[in-house]
Amino acid sequence: MMSTQTNQTVNQTARFSILSQDQKQRIFEGMIETLRNTGVHLHHEEARKLLKEHGALVDGVAVKIPQNLVMDALATVPPVTIVQSWDGSKKTLIEKNQVLFGPGPTPPNFTDPHTLERRKYVRADAAMVARICQALPNIGFVQSLGTISDVTVSLADVYEFAEMIQNTTKPILSWSYTRDTCRDIHQIAIAVAGGEEAFRQCPNYVFYGEPISPLLSDFHAMDKAMYCAKHGIPQVYTPCCIGGGTVPATHAGQLVCALSESMLGVVVAQLINPGTCVIMGGVQSIMDMQYSVYAYGAPELSLLSAALTEMAQYVGLPMFSTAGCTDTKTLDPQGAIEAATSVHSAMLSGANFIHDVGYFESGMTGSVLQLVMADEQIGMSHVVAKGIEVNEETMAVEEICNAGPGGNYFDTDHTKKFAASLWQPTLMDRQSYEDWAAQGKKTMKDRVIEKTRDIIANFEGPISKVPEDTKKKIADILQAAEIREAKKAEAENK
């Protein structure tokens, strides 16, 4: 059809905003002022030396960062980073407003999907979580939902990555205890990618590291960040800020802190390797004053995360956000309320990696049931977030006039063309009461459990496509790491 339109502004998606430009500018200025005047504590000598060489004021562990260092770092961060799945099947873009959801790392406990009991997280769980993530259409990246308890303690991070990367082609966000295990993970990724050069061209995972709030980086956090920067591994450098605990109770103050803490990682990484990808963000919520718990289901988490995402977009950094998590201890409506609220907020905000989908109990337990439920909520949120297409064809004036008052649209060509694009639920029930009752009165929880068990039983994942020699290389890396850690333990015992 020939267009007769001119001067049209359209929303291709819904638009959502917490902060005005002026508000963002003030928070940005707050970060500049905080790094310049209050500064940070940095427990890494080499990093301090580097910062001092570039004009930072260093006094013991205290480092004050002048604004030109921040501005220079922001000038070299990449606008686009590409992460490729190891089999080459899919590229993931890390760029402004490109949204992906995924689980989170490291809860000590896990909800067993068969017994529904809370138990320790084991090695086999890492493979299972990766497979479930692979099967869920609205989950875009993979984290483990637990810390492996049945391997050498100091290598739980490496075993986790080795299990996950063979069971998913979606990007993995890995973490590590130390530079050593950070390197082990890197080596596995190189083995899977088919060599160092191939990995450098297109990395197949993102590393996740965490400074400590407020305004403090311990040795290992900075050491790993420097390793990743040097080797061009895209990395997340983000704190967990606890409003009223480790940062001010007012949201604006929390945003200043969170931004400042990530910015330290950005500055160091850009000094080491200008153009390397650093993702800011983190978990942003408040301390529940009744129970002294870090509230993962609080609406403040949604609000702060969306606002921090706007700050990330303002400074030109990708954002690691949080959603789909809950303070409930079991799959129930509370988990659904809290997850739906944060999922929709994070979706609308346009964050890049939205993590912690599947966290129960304020991050103390990982649950694939919560993950499977949230996958459906993300699907619902997506329908709203993508907005409404308004054009001659979708407005259907001709159809409406042809059908006439009280007309029927069933089976028309227009309906046949567009009805398929309406959302199809997989866990939401829309049957009549009678049909629902006849089928055993199942609640959504029952359906979530069924779907989860069905995926576990029947979904293969890509493990059979991992070449034998790659598997061998992974086993060798694990073995070498075991020997190294054993020697370390021995040395410590002496």
Partner 1 sequence: MLEKTMLIKMNQQVHGTTMFQILTEDQIERIYFAALDVLEISGARIFHKEALELFASSDAMVTETNRVRIPTSMVEQALGSCPSKSNLTGRNGKRSVKLQKNEVAFGSGADAPFVYDRKTGERRKSTFADVEAAAKIVDYLPRLDFCMSHGLVSDAPNSKTYDRHQFLAMVKNSTKPLVVTSVDGDGLKDQWEMACLIRGGEKEFRLSPLFATYIMSDSPLMSNNEIVDKLLFATEKGIPTIFSPCSGLGVNAPATIAGGLVQTLADALLTVVLCYLKKPGLPLILGGVQTIMDKDIETLSYGSPELHLASAASTEIYKWLGLLSSSSGGCTDSKVVDEQAASESVMSIYNNFMAGTNLIHHVGCIDSGLNGSLSSLVMCDEIIGMIKQIGKGIQVTDESLALDILKEVGPGGEFLSHDHTYDHWKEWFRPTIIDRSNFETWTENGSKNYTDRLEPEVDRILESHEPEPLDENIIQEMKKIINLADKKEV
Minimum CB–partner distance for residue 119 and partner 1 (Å): 12
What does the CA dihedral 263, 267, 269, 270 come to, rounded to 10 degrees?
A: 130
Residue 372 contacts residue 448 (beta carbons within 8 Å): yes
291 binds partner 1 (CB under 8 A): yes
Take residue 133 and report the two structure tokens written for it: 């993530």
Question: Residue 428 or 486: which CB sits closer to partner 1?
Answer: 428
Number of residues located near partner 1, criterion CB under 8 A: 134
Among 97, 201, 250, 426, binds partner 1 (CB under 8 A): 250
Question: Residue 18 or 162: which CB sits closer to partner 1?
Answer: 18
Among 89, 391, 426, 479, binds partner 1 (CB under 8 A): 391
Among 46, 389, 450, 476, binds partner 1 (CB under 8 A): 389
Spatial distance between the Cα atoms of 286 and 294, rounded to a whole number of angstroms = 6
Site for partner 1 in 353-372 (CB under 8 A): 361-362, 364-365
Site for partner 1 in 4-43 (CB under 8 A): 7-11, 14-23, 26-27, 30, 33-34, 37-41
419 binds partner 1 (CB under 8 A): yes
For β-strands 365-366 and 359-360, DSSP reports them as antiparallel
Spatial distance between the Cα atoms of 211 and 345, rounded to a whole number of angstroms = 25
Site for partner 1 in 448-487 (CB under 8 A): 448
Question: Residue 44 or 382: which CB sits closer to partner 1?
Answer: 382
Question: Residue 170 or 251: which CB sits closer to partner 1?
Answer: 251
Find all residues with CB under 8 Å of 335, minimum gap 6, and list them. 297, 326, 328, 360, 370, 373
Minimum CB–partner distance for residue 88 and partner 1 (Å): 34
Give the gyration radius of the chain's Cα atoms: 24
Residue 251: half-sphere exposure toward Cβ, Cα within 13 Å: 17
Find all residues with CB under 8 Å of 100, minimum gap 6, and list them. 92, 140, 141, 171, 352, 353, 354
Site for partner 1 in 114-153 (CB under 8 A): 118
224 binds partner 1 (CB under 8 A): no
284: β partners = 241
Would the CA dihedral through 335, 255, 81, 206 be positive or negative? Answer: negative
Minimum CB–partner distance for residue 53 and partner 1 (Å): 21
Question: Residue 61 or 82: which CB sits closer to partner 1?
Answer: 61
Minimum CB–partner distance for residue 388 and partner 1 (Å): 5
Spatial distance between the Cα atoms of 452 and 459, rounded to a whole number of angstroms = 10
329 binds partner 1 (CB under 8 A): yes
Q: What are phi and psi of 241, to 5 degrees?
A: -95, 130
